[in-house]
Structures are given as C-alpha cells and as structure tokens.
Homo-oligomer: A and B are copies of this chain.
Amino acid sequence: MKDFRSDNTLGASPEILDAITRASAGSMTSYGNDEITARVRKRCSEIFGRQVDVFPVLTGTAANSLSIAAMTPLFGAVFCHEDAHIQRDELGAVEFFSGGAKLILIAGAVGKLHPGDLERSIDEIRKSKKTAVPACVSLTNATEAGTVYTDDEIRALCEVARGNGLRVHLDGARFANAFVSGATDIDGVDILSFGASKNGTLAGDVIVVFNRALSEELSLRWHRAGQRLSKMRFLSAQLEAYLTNDLWLRNARHANAMARRLRDVIGEAVEIVRPVDANIVFVRCPPPSGFLFGDWPIFGPDVYRIVMGFNTSEQDVDELAQSLMRSRSIAT
C-alpha cells in the first residue's frame, strides 16, 4: 500500500538519523544546557535575523499549547480559525495548559482568517466584558486546508492583532512548506511553533520565541509540562541537522513539488477542493486500490486528504495520478 495519509506516517531523513548517532558520544550536561542546544538557538537566530530563544519539544500539541499558555491569561480569549489544529485535534490541550482559556472560532474560506472577521470577533468579545479577555491570535501556516498565507496576509492579520493589543502565535507544524512557498515574514509573530517532525525529524519540534519577554515563564512551563528532555542533546541534534545545509527547505520543496505534480497531472479529472499551496491535496474521490488517503469529512462528503512528504517519490505520485484518473473514468 502506498501511504498518503499524512506526513507523520513517514520515517526520518538519513541526515537526522546520522546526527542522533553522532550526538550519542560522550557526556553532556542535561536538560538543555548542552552545546548542541546552544547551537540550535544560534542557528534559529540566524535564520530569523534576530535574537531568539528556543525550547525544543516533542510534539506540535506541546509546542502550540505551551506557546499559547505563555501569552494568554487563564481568562483569555484565543482567536483562531474554526478548523485550527488547536481546536480540532488536541483534545483541549490549549484549554488545559492555559488554565481554561477560551478558543474563539472564526470561519474563513480555504482555511484562512480574514482581517475583517478577526477585527469583528475581537471587538465582540471585548465589548461582552464577560466572555473572555482578548489575549492572542493563533494562525496556522501552511494552513490546515493546505493553503499558504502570503506575507501580506499574515502582516494584515498581525496588524489587527497588534492594533488590539493582542499577541500572535504561529502554528508552523508545516512552516517549512509555507516558507518555501514564499511566506517568510515573521515580523508580527511573538512565538512560532516551528514544526520539524512532519518534514524529516523523528519527533523534534521547537518553540521559537521572538518576544523574549515571554521566555522565562515559558521555560518554567516547559519543564513542568514534562517536555524538557533530560538528554536534550538527542532532540537538539535532530533540529541542528534539520536546519543545516537547508535540509528543512530541501525536504519541504520536494514535498510541495510532489503536491503540485499530482495537481498538474490530474488537472480537472478529479475534483480538487482546496488550492494546493503546500504539500497537501484535498480531493473529492476515495483512494484507489493500493493507496491510503486520510478521511476528511469536515471538508464535505467524499473528501480525502493526500499528503506528500520529504521522501515521496515521483514514481509514487505518478502511479497515484494514473490510478486516480483511471478510477475516475470508471466511475464516469
């Protein structure tokens, strides 16, 4: 079976595996006070062009909920898209880590928030006085719909947030895929959940803090959440390899290219229900025999998700495309 269900059903890049083995030699200070973690921080600072703090974590759920909890009081409102991963897929982790903050859900085409809707929603909550206190906006890029906010779109949303005194969290579970599609501006962002495991590592994501006033509290929440590895070197070594020689960008470019390849081949033969900006293709068509897709009923009946990864081969994509078109013509 060819598996297109998700980028987390894949293995790890060889460069990542090598880095782990190399990191195993010798003794090293535990809990993140080691030299590899220090280098990851330096590398992230270079990439983003400013001094950042980094907190490696094991899962995107941890990255998102710790980041948001560090910028949201327990009576705070977190504004996000109604299909956001933090709403749909984390079993209330944000509510838990924040002590009961409230997600305010906003609809928006192709998985994106629209600045006008965000402004209206913040305004309504602020005026209510008793629903929650507007605290932050959580954006996802690439979005859960496989689309990518442009830099202009992100800037416009950050301006609404800033204008209302709110902070901005960016869920970048697929940040690399958005980045190589041109979304590189993080100027208005306070904290980024910088995903890596969907793009080649074993399990390593990293919280990147641009607004460093939040770092001390985040550091303590990170420890008490059980996310601060004793042998942090093994997580940091993955991240270092990921950010070296553009592995993160190469892997993402490949995955995105495979998604475009599929889209271009199947053309209009199969209905594609969302724009293909990153590494995901949503189709209205069940998987042909020999292939695995992800079910995606929230996008409508018979909708499935096809995800390309860092190691998806052109041949597999082409076979999938052929099978899709064949099954389609049979159906017709």
Please give the residue numbers on chain A whose beta carbons come within 8 Å of chain B beta carbons, in ascending order: 3, 5-6, 8-12, 17, 20-21, 23-31, 57-63, 65-66, 73-75, 87-93, 95-96, 98-103, 105, 124, 127-128, 130-133, 197-198, 202-203, 217, 220-221, 223-231, 234-235, 292, 297-298
Given the interface contacts A100-B92, A100-B100, A234-B12, does A130 sit within 8 Å of B223 by beta carbon?
A: yes
**Whole-angstrom distance between the alpha carbons of A103 and B261 in the complex?**
41
Q: How many copies does the complex hold?
A: 4
Given the interface contacts A27-B9, A197-B230, A231-B202, does A224 sit within 8 Å of B127 by beta carbon?
A: no
A62 near B92: Cβ-Cβ < 8 Å = no
**Whole-angstrom distance between the alpha carbons of A12 and B21 in the complex?**
9
A61 touches which of B10, B105, B197, B224 (Cβ 8 Å)? B224
Please give me the residue from chain B that is nearest to A233 by CB atom. B11
Given A59-B227, A61-B224, A102-B103, 20 more A-B residue pairs with CB atoms under 8 Å apart are: A5-B30, A9-B28, A11-B25, A11-B26, A12-B234, A57-B226, A62-B226, A65-B226, A66-B226, A74-B92, A74-B96, A75-B91, A75-B92, A75-B96, A93-B225, A96-B100, A128-B298, A198-B230, A225-B225, A226-B227
B28 near A91: Cβ-Cβ < 8 Å = no
B73 near A217: Cβ-Cβ < 8 Å = yes
Please give me the residue from chain B that is nearest to A69 by CB atom. B74
B residues within 8 A CB of A3? Answer: 27
Please give me the residue from chain B that is nearest to A21 by CB atom. B17
A297 touches which of B10, B66, B98, B127 (Cβ 8 Å)? B127
**Whole-angstrom distance between the alpha carbons of A203 and B133 in the complex?**
26
**Whole-angstrom distance between the alpha carbons of A242 and B130 in the complex?**
29
A23 to chain B, nearest CB (A): 7
A92 touches which of B224, B230, B234 (Cβ 8 Å)? B224
**Whole-angstrom distance between the alpha carbons of A102 and B95 in the complex?**
8
**Whole-angstrom distance between the alpha carbons of A96 and B63 in the complex?**
17
B residues within 8 A CB of A133? Answer: 91, 220
A220 near B21: Cβ-Cβ < 8 Å = no
